[in-house]
């Protein structure tokens, strides 16, 4: 919906105020703006954040920090969560989302080495920690970087 699409309610008899259309209209001469002054001028309202000439709050507060827009944010999963999935020989990101182990893949999945894994399993993920790779291969499994 846009501002030009707005229409009065069905059955409404209210007329819009037509200002500056002669003295007899009741809204002529100064067009309901009073006499002179800032608020009588076109564009006379001050913008959001204006504090009467005082330095506005958004300029008084110091800027802090940095947001890296190029950062890759991984969804992490530990080996103990993979070990709990007993019946799966191949673990993929789609399977993890389907089983509800992770909610969102984000920029990829990274497997971390917290916990242990007791069975050989093939894990397909975007990144692996060194500890996770060592534990998976020690259990007879394989790691595949997608």
Residue with the two structure tokens 């000439």: 53
pLDDT tens sequence across 43-77: 888 889 999 999 999 999 999 999 999 999 999 99
pLDDT for 9? 87
Phi-psi region of 24 (alpha: psi -120 to 50; beta: other; left: phi over 0): alpha
Burial 108-130 (b: 16+ CB within 10 A, else e): ebbbbbeeebeeebebbbbbbbe
The CATH architecture annotation of domain 75-145 reads Ribosomal Protein L15; Chain: K; domain 2 (3.100)
pLDDT for 14? 82
pTM for the structure as a whole: 0.56
Nearest alpha-carbon partner for 111 in 85, 95, 135, 94: 135
Name every residue whose Cβ is closer than 8 Å to that of residue 132 and which is 6 or more positions away in sequence: 79, 111, 112, 113, 143
pLDDT for 74? 93
CATH 3.100.10.10 in the chain, residue ranges: 75-145
Contact in structure between 129 and 94 (CB atoms under 8 Å): no
Edge to edge, the sheet with strand 75-78 lists 75-78, 109-112, 127-128
Q: Is the pLDDT of residue 8 over 90?
A: no
Q: Is the pLDDT of residue 112 over 90?
A: yes
């Amino acid at each position: 919906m846009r501002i030009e699409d707005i229409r009065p309610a069905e059955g409404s008899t209210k007329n819009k105020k037509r200002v500056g259309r002669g003295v007899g209209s009741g809204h002529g001469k100064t067009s309901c703006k009073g006499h002179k002054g800032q608020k009588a001028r076109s564009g006379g309202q001050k913008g959001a954040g204006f504090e009467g000439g005082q330095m506005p709050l958004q300029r008084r507060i110091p800027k802090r920090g940095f947001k890296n827009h190029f950062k890759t944010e991984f969804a992490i999963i530990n080996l103990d969560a993979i070990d709990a999935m007993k019946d799966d020989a191949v673990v993929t990101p789609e399977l993890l989302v389907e089983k509800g182990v992770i909610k969102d893949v984000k920029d990829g999945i990274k497997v971390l080495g917290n916990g242990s894994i007791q069975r050989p399993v093939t894990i397909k993920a975007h990144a692996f920690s060194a500890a996770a790779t060592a534990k998976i291969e020690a259990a007879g499994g394989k790691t595949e970087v997608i």
